[in-house]
């Protein structure tokens, strides 16, 4: 990075590493650099979605929502942004919109954690039968339902 600071793939990779290590400040800086350098819409969408996830984890829901919205504007089928907006909606007790976002994400990239989030939103929204179906999908996809449930619960707790 000292030799070529505008190496966008390197910035993106370093942003992912910083995010994985929990270094939010560095990750934000790296993703903002990616946004400054990248022209490709999917790369930009992923950077916005990653920023949204970081801000959501920091409790900065306004910035999280803005970044997820920017990501979905560029790629309306991006699972990380769909799940992120679902998590924000669920935190605001909008279970119907949360379920809509999770369902959209599961139509693109079905995961057991995603179906557990969908089931919880449906359950809290009074849609018990649909929640049972989502739980059944999660069970079919999961190799470790207990660990997946913990991951879903951790996401909902942020």
pLDDT in tens, 37-46: 888 899 999 9
> pTM of this prediction?
0.88
| Region 119-141 average pLDDT | 97
Superfamily of domain 1-76: Tetratricopeptide repeat domain (1.25.40.10)
Half-sphere exposure of 83 (CA within 13 A, CB side): 26
Which residue ranges does the chain devote to CATH 1.25.40.10? 1-76, 78-158
In this predicted structure, the answer to whether residue 140 has a pLDDT above a threshold of 90 is yes
Q: Which residue has the higher pLDDT, 29 or 1?
A: 29
CA distances from 115 to 6, 10, 98, 137 (A): 39, 33, 12, 7
| Region 46-61 average pLDDT | 95
CATH class of 78-158: mainly alpha
Residue with tokens 């946004």: 35
pLDDT in tens, 24-40: 898 898 889 889 888 88
């Amino acid at each position: 990075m000292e030799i070529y600071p505008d190496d966008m793939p390197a910035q993106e990779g370093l942003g992912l590493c910083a995010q994985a290590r929990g270094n939010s400040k560095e990750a934000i800086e790296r993703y903002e650099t990616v946004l400054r350098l990248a022209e490709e819409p999917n790369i930009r969408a992923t950077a916005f979605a990653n920023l949204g996830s970081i801000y959501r984890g920091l409790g900065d829901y306004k910035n999280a929502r803005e970044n997820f919205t920017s990501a979905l504007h560029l790629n309306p089928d991006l699972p990380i942004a769909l799940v992120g907006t679902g998590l924000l909606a669920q935190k605001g007790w909008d279970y119907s919109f949360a379920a809509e976002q999770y369902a959209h994400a599961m139509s693109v990239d079905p995961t057991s954690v995603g179906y557990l989030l969908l089931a919880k939103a449906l359950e809290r929204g009074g849609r018990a039968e649909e929640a049972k179906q989502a739980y059944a999908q999660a069970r079919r996809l999961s190799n470790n339902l207990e660990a997946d449930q913990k991951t879903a619960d951790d996401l909902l707790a942020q």
